[in-house]
Structure 1
């Protein structure tokens, strides 16, 4: 099939995955209310169902299966923007994923070399995600988004209709790498959100924290553009022969190791090394060039008609399936099973990596094992590939890099400069944003921003902030929220480098610090982030945290650690401790804060339940303040933009 059709189909499939993955968590899983094992089984079911595609392709032929699957994939991708979330979104995305897997199996049966289409498709997806500031077209409601989505789907269907089977041997190994390549690209090599996060760590006020990049900063775009160039250049270039070919997996393995080990300053080289190593391995796995034609054999006596017919039938059977389409026989069937099997590897890898934050086991080995798998498949046999199927690959590589950089520069940056504090009280908001997803399972950026803006907040403590998890669509949720509020941010990781807690403000931040909290059996990591702000009531220490209770117990141990850290760091200065504490008033963990002399700032308005957002009956989001502060106007504004309600309070100095 044509390179352009394959590339566009890959880009659409990645778009569907960016909706399907978070739908598993927020709709089917209801954000940890459903056992992780059940969520994993439901997710894997769709990939297992696709194992029936290769036999179907062999029986019917690649072209009719491909066209039918392309129509369903395109229709589901277009339809996702029209859903209002909920079960409809979950199953439209699920059937779109299944159609995408069937489309891959049919494409594999008639495409000798998938590498150019795969490389260009992943690169195009990165360029588009960069241009959209990591906010997918599915979550946008403006007319231009509908036009772009329709244009992509129409182009994909037109190219699929015109595509022809490519001559040459159909080798299974390159197709086996499609799934692992999608996962490593989405997690590391092709993630503009990870690039933004990586650069923001260079602006952190203390070790282990990240800060807002300056207005107009282009370094995240430069990192993403360099990654696209390295990936596309290595993937489309002629791979080296001889001993040099064994260098291809080295940067891939080094990059994945840097991704999972501290310090966070290694994230930038992790992105670049993974990009070039992944591209090089895909190039190594491409099918060998056809053997040179041999001299014609000496003429032989003509065979009997019956023998000639039998010989011809046997030869045809090895190259043509029952539908008479090249590649629909056993080689094409093996390639179909390989690509679906590779996508099963994608699913298993994603489940193993991200479910660790619910089940509590080490997951750092998952990207490294995926890299080893890619290396083992890619280096299985020598490559005699004469060159890429893409004309002028160097020109394509440069164009992709320039397009990425222009896309990054064109993204509006509405962040404002720090303002001098004005005399008067300070409005503080604490909000668990559930990675940006509302109760309907849609990425509700506008709803989150409306809640905070409606409180006219000066300081915002955010919990469950996701900055690049592919599981949640690969957004930089923190940068998106801060940009629309016109606030600067300080971020500290809790689970890994891109998931944690943040403080947003327009006020000057003079100092920051973070401390890791003891897991005590809780699967997800926890931390406490402190920032010293210059406010209208003087210097104010704000601590943002999200306590994680151990199984069948309250977060008493972590509560004590937060109190000791916060009070010690404040050293007598006015103090605010805010966030999702996973404990209710009167519980032992709650009393740890009050026993330390901190005041429940929301007490005058209680009962003030905050979760679940549509019918709150738990008071687990709190704001504690030191005795020298007074709290008024406590509120929990109604909204379903998250599974929690925000809590807000106005703080002033106590009058003598």
Structure 2
């Protein structure tokens, strides 16, 4: 009887084994489903920790947290740009009043023999000009930044002594920074200038004529300064012809001056006097060697006053100065 029961129980267990196997399998699958998300979260946290830069050894976690907690710096707001005013107008050119009279001025021509004048003697030349009371000065044989005369701007220095304006016309360029030629100085405003080289022949010194528009109490005076060749009369004639073509191209009050290297009865002077008058006809020699070679010539817009010749030890030429009076335009009844 007992043996029969035991045998029946064994048969029942064999029948339940498949059911137990299925139950265990279902339980295992359910357990894995619950555990898997936690494993993924752990792995992700580990990966994040491995990619985050570690703090430096000297920096504590609390310090890092404190630094991250600091607020961003505040910047002051930019002010609005200032309102731009209208661009300043260009200064007007001096107004020319052709009817304003009288206009009195003293003009000087002076060959300073620039190459033999030291920087220390430029004040002496300014003294000669000041003593004559000259308002407009025509200088010949002027150096600008040449080694032989001390690498100085001769016309600029002389003008600075006198409180004048100056313009320079280089006819011979000794170096890339130095020149030799003529200059015009004025205590009146200079409203434009130009320098023109004159006809020349091979091997001779280049000459030129320097022009300056000078505004004398509202009226334009055109001043020409030249220095003609000293070796050839035929070349001088050609050069004075070129000079007069420049002079005759301008209307109004005009003065031509300078070292013409020609005597009173010469063809050179005759060409110039075809349209101008000799303001210093009564003056004597203007050169240490005798003779008159330095001139101031005017047109009918000016009348001639007193003139004087001032010998100096600064040059082999004398300073020639003449007083002039400018008249008004023809329609003003002058």
**In which range does the TM-score fall when normalised by the shorter chain?**
0.5 to 0.7
Q: Which residue pairs with 1:636 in the alignment? A: 309
Which is strand-richer, 1 or 2? Answer: 2
Deviation readout 1:230-265 (Å, 9 max, x if unpaired): xxxxxxxxxxxxxxxxxxxxxxxxxxxxxxxxxxxx
Distance 1:566 1:522, change over 3 A: farther
2:262 and 2:323 mapped to 1: Cα distance?
22
2:145 and 2:316 mapped to 1: Cα distance?
20
Alignment of 1:243-254 (within 5 A): none
2:185 and 2:114 mapped to 1: Cα distance?
16
Q: Does 1:586 align with 2:265?
A: yes
Task: Judge conservation of contact 1:520–1:550 (CA < 8 Å) in 2.
Answer: no
Q: Which residue pairs with 2:292 in the alignment? A: 619
Distance 1:601 1:498, change over 3 A: same
Q: In the alignment, which of 566, 579, 584 is matched to residue 247 of structure 2?
A: 566
Which is helix-richer, 1 or 2? Answer: 1
Q: In the alignment, which of 583, 598, 612 is matched to residue 276 of structure 2?
A: 598
Q: Give ranges in structure 1 of 5+ residues lacking alignment.
A: 1-417
C-alpha deviation, 1:474, in angstroms:
2.1
Q: Which residue pairs with 2:72 in the alignment? A: none
Q: In the alignment, which of 131, 138, 154 is matched to residue 477 of structure 1?
A: 154
Task: Judge conservation of contact 1:638–1:645 (CA < 8 Å) in 2.
Answer: yes
Deviation readout 1:406-453 (Å, 9 max, x if unpaired): xxxxxxxxxxxx9x9995301101111111636xx8952232111100
Q: Which residue pairs with 1:610 in the alignment? A: 286
Q: In the alignment, which of 178, 181, 186 is matched to residue 505 of structure 1?
A: 186
C-alpha deviation, 1:506, in angstroms:
1.9
Task: Judge conservation of contact 1:600–1:624 (CA < 8 Å) in 2.
Answer: yes
1:511 and 1:477 mapped to 2: Cα distance?
20
Q: Does 1:515 align with 2:196?
A: yes
Alignment of 1:82-97 (within 5 A): none
Q: Which residue pairs with 1:101 in the alignment? A: none
Quick check: which has more Rg, 1 or 2? 2
C-alpha deviation, 1:522, in angstroms:
6.4
2:130 and 2:116 mapped to 1: Cα distance?
18
Task: Judge conservation of contact 1:436–1:642 (CA < 8 Å) in 2.
Answer: no
How many residues of Structure 1 are paired with residues of Structure 2 in the alignment?
228
Specify the SS of the correspondent of 1:555. Answer: helix
2:221 and 2:309 mapped to 1: Cα distance?
23
Task: Judge conservation of contact 1:521–1:551 (CA < 8 Å) in 2.
Answer: no
2:196 and 2:236 mapped to 1: Cα distance?
16
Provide the alpha-carbon RMSD of the alignment: 2.5
Task: Judge conservation of contact 1:424–1:537 (CA < 8 Å) in 2.
Answer: no
C-alpha deviation, 1:480, in angstroms:
1.5
Alignment of 1:307-318 (within 5 A): none
C-alpha deviation, 1:653, in angstroms:
2.7
Per the normalisation by structure 1, the TM-score is 0.33
Distance 1:422 1:630, change over 3 A: closer
Deviation readout 1:445-501 (Å, 9 max, x if unpaired): 232111100111111111111012212332221222111111111111111251111
2:321 and 2:208 mapped to 1: Cα distance?
22
Deviation readout 1:258-313 (Å, 9 max, x if unpaired): xxxxxxxxxxxxxxxxxxxxxxxxxxxxxxxxxxxxxxxxxxxxxxxxxxxxxxxx
Task: Judge conservation of contact 1:610–1:645 (CA < 8 Å) in 2.
Answer: yes
Task: Judge conservation of contact 1:465–1:502 (CA < 8 Å) in 2.
Answer: yes
Task: Judge conservation of contact 1:423–1:537 (CA < 8 Å) in 2.
Answer: no
Alignment of 1:9-20 (within 5 A): none
C-alpha deviation, 1:537, in angstroms:
7.5
C-alpha deviation, 1:636, in angstroms:
0.8
Q: Does 1:576 align with 2:249?
A: no
1:565 and 1:538 mapped to 2: Cα distance?
20
Q: Which residue pairs with 1:152 in the alignment? A: none
1:503 and 1:622 mapped to 2: Cα distance?
15
Q: Does 1:528 align with 2:209?
A: yes
1:638 and 1:493 mapped to 2: Cα distance?
26
C-alpha deviation, 1:530, in angstroms:
0.8
1:617 and 1:511 mapped to 2: Cα distance?
36
2:101 and 2:112 mapped to 1: Cα distance?
28
Alignment of 1:249-260 (within 5 A): none
